[in-house]
């Protein structure tokens, strides 16, 4: 069952990448003076405390979607003190950006590893690209598996970073908005997010519908940057 095996690779990359994302939120909040996630054990690269907080979003739903669709859908969260966010809206905004920044770091590391593979003559740009498949191996053995794994890391973390940066509640991009507001406007904005019922569900629906229009060109642009001189469309 190669499809299931590939889906499990997607899942474990999702699990690792989401753990790093939430740990980055928690660590940055701790540095900014909010110990909520730290006391919950989420300043950790172990997935256990993050799974304990969101078992449905990090285990049940992703594995179920792997079986049904071949790739994971899930969610996670790091707790923070809303009163701290009201007192320090810019610190809270930096905390919001820390998760996507961690995913962009993994995109960069995967891209560097892919470029090393190309330079070493064991990988190459493929004739066409799709999500998770951004390199082909030029040899046998473990190289095809490694090329696929790096492609999944590159694609999955780009997706997590771009999706979470959409400036729509409850995504991280909406939490970064106070960086561009005055102190009073930032506090009013935070209060609006916390006191508007149903805003998060509406935001997730809008983000889900709009995401393909945002991600597809960014994915192709990122792969074109990965392989200078190659123009994927």
Q: Express each pLDDT in 41-91 by its tens digit.
A: 999 999 999 999 999 999 999 999 999 988 899 999 999 999 999 899 999
CB-CB contact of 98 with 37 (8 Å): no
Residue reference for tokens 């996507």: 100
Residue reference for tokens 């006191």: 195
Q: Which residues pair with 130 in a beta bridge?
A: 133
Q: Taking 70 as the threshold, does the pLDDT of residue 2 lie above it? A: no
Q: What is the pTM of this model?
A: 0.94
Q: Taking 70 as the threshold, does the pLDDT of residue 209 lie above it? A: yes
Q: Taking 70 as the threshold, does the pLDDT of residue 126 lie above it? A: yes
The CA dihedral of 197, 91, 219, 110, to the nearest 10 degrees, is -130
Residue reference for tokens 């690779």: 9
Q: In this predicted structure, what is the pLDDT of residue 53?
A: 96
Q: In this predicted structure, what is the pLDDT of residue 138?
A: 93
The CA dihedral of 175, 178, 179, 181, to the nearest 10 degrees, is 160
Mean pLDDT of 24-40: 97
CB-CB contact of 215 with 167 (8 Å): no
Q: What is the pLDDT of residues 78-116, one digit of tens each?
A: 999 999 998 999 999 999 999 999 999 999 999 999 999
Mean pLDDT of 129-148: 94
């Amino acid at each position: 069952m190669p499809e299931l095996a590939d889906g499990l690779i997607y899942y474990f990359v999702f699990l690792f990448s989401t753990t790093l994302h939430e740990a980055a939120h928690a660590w940055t909040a701790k540095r900014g003076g909010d110990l909520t996630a730290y006391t919950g054990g989420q300043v950790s690269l172990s997935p256990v405390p993050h799974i304990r907080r969101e078992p449905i979003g990090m285990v049940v739903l992703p594995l179920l979607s792997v079986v049904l669709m071949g790739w994971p859908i899930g969610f996670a969260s790091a707790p923070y003190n809303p009163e701290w966010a009201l007192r320090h809206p810019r610190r809270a905004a930096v905390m919001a950006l820390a998760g996507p920044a961690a995913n962009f770091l993994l995109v960069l590391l995967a891209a560097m590893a892919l470029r090393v593979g190309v330079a070493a003559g064991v990988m190459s740009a493929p004739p066409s690209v799709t999500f998770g498949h951004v390199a082909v191996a030029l040899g046998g053995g473990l190289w095809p598996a490694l090329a696929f794994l790096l492609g999944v890391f590159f694609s999955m973390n780009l997706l997590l970073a771009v999706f979470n940066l959409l400036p729509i509640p409850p995504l991280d991009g909406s939490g970064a908005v106070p960086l561009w507001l005055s102190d009073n406007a930032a506090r009013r904005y935070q209060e609006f997010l916390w006191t508007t019922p149903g805003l998060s569900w509406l935001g997730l629906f809008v983000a889900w519908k709009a995401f393909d229009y945002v991600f597809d060109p960014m994915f192709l642009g990122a792969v074109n940057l990965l392989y200078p001189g190659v123009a994927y469309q």
